[in-house]
C-alpha cells in the first residue's frame, strides 16, 4: 500500500515589533517550527539592506516582517510557536491561511541566505464596491499581466487569504510578493525596467497605476519592502 501524504498548507503571519530580525533568525525558533511539522519557512524582513526603499502604510503601525510556513499539520501549533518566541515583547502576530499562486516563479535556494533582491510584500484589501468574484477576476486575470509587463520583476507570487488564523486578525484579502533587482531599492528605472528612458518610465507608471486603481489597490494598501530568506526544515 502506498502511504498517503497530506499536501502542505501555506500559512502567512504578519508581525509587528522591535528586534524581529534577531528573534526570527533564531535557530531555536526554526527547530521549534520543525518540531510542529513545518517543512519550509520564508522570512520577509524589513531590515537594513532595504532601508531606503518605498513604504506605504494603512495599518496603525508598519508591518516589520512576514513569516510564511508550509505545514501539513495543525496551524495553531505554528501560531503558538511564533507567539511564544515573541512573548515578553511589544510584538504582535496576525496569521492567515492562504492559497498560493506563482505566475512568475523566481529562482529559490532554501539555505537561509539573503536573496539578492528587493522583495516587496503588499497587503491587499478588496474594495466594498467589488464582489469577491469580480475583484479576483480583475486582479488575477487582468491586472497580473500588466504588473509583470510594466515592472522589472523576476518573481511574482499571489496569496489569496482563505481564512484568518489568529483572534482579532485585521481584515486582509490577499498578500502579494514581487521580487525586483536590488538596484530597484533607489532607482526608479531599475524598478520599472525602463532602461533609463524617462518617457518609457512614465508610460509604464501610468499603465500600472490605471490597472492598480481597477482593483482598489490605489488606496487602503500596505507595502513592506523586505529582504527575503528561505529555510528548508525537512
pTM (2 d.p.): 0.95
**pLDDT tens digit string along 212-233?**
999 999 999 999 999 999 999 9
Tens digits of residue pLDDT in 121-170: 999 999 999 999 999 999 999 999 999 999 999 999 999 999 999 999 99
Considering the domain delimited by 9-232, tell me its CATH architecture.
2-Layer Sandwich (3.30)
Residue 3: per-residue pLDDT: 42
Determine the pLDDT at residue 172. 97
For every residue of the chain, DSSP letters joined together read: -PPP-PPPEEEEEEEESSSHHHHHT-HHHHHHHHHTTEEEEEEEE--GGGTTS--B--SSS---EEEEEEESS-HHHHHHHHHHHTTTSS-EEEEEEEEEEEEEPPP---EEEEPSSEEEEEEE---TTS-HHHHHIIIIIIIHHHHHHHS--SEEEEEEEEEE-STTPPP--EEEEEEE-GGGGS-HHHHHT-TT-HHHHHHHHHHHHHHHHHTTTTSS-EEEEEEEEEEE--
Reported as a single tens digit per residue, the pLDDT across 60-112 is 999 999 999 999 999 999 999 999 999 888 889 999 999 999 999 999 999 99
Amino acid at each position: 500500500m502506498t502511504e498517503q501524504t497530506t499536501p502542505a498548507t501555506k500559512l502567512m503571519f504578519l508581525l509587528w515589533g522591535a528586534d524581529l530580525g534577531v528573534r526570527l533568525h533564531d535557530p531555536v525558533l526554526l527547530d521549534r517550527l520543525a518540531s510542529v511539522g513545518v517543512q519550509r519557512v520564508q522570512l520577509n524582513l524589513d531590515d537594513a539592506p532595504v532601508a531606503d526603499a518605498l513604504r506605504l502604510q494603512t495599518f496603525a503601525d508598519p508591518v516589520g516582517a512576514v513569516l510564511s510556513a508550509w505545514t501539513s499539520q495543525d496551524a495553531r501549533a505554528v501560531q503558538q510557536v511564533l507567539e511564544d518566541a515573541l512573548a515578553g515583547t511589544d510584538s504582535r502576530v496576525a496569521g492567515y491561511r492562504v492559497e498560493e499562486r506563482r505566475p512568475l516563479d523566481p529562482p529559490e535556494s532554501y539555505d537561509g541566505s539573503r536573496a539578492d533582491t528587493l522583495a516587496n510584500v503588499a497587503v491587499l484589501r478588496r474594495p466594498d464596491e467589488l464582489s469577491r468574484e469580480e475583484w479576483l477576476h480583475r486582479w488575477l486575470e487582468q491586472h497580473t499581466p500588466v504588473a509583470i509587463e510594466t515592472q522589472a520583476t523576476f518573481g511574482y507570487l499571489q496569496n489569496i487569504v482563505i481564512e484568518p488564523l489568529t483572534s482579532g486578525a485585521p481584515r486582509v484579502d490577499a498578500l502579494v510578493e514581487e521580487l525586483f533587482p536590488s538596484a530597484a531599492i533607489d532607482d526608479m528605472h531599475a524598478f520599472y525596467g525602463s532602461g533609463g528612458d524617462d518617457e518609457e518610465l512614465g508610460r509604464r507608471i501610468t499603465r500600472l497605476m490605471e490597472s492598480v486603481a481597477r482593483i482598489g489597490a490605489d488606496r487602503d494598501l500596505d507595502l513592506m519592502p523586505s529582504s527575503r530568506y528561505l529555510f528548508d526544515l525537512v
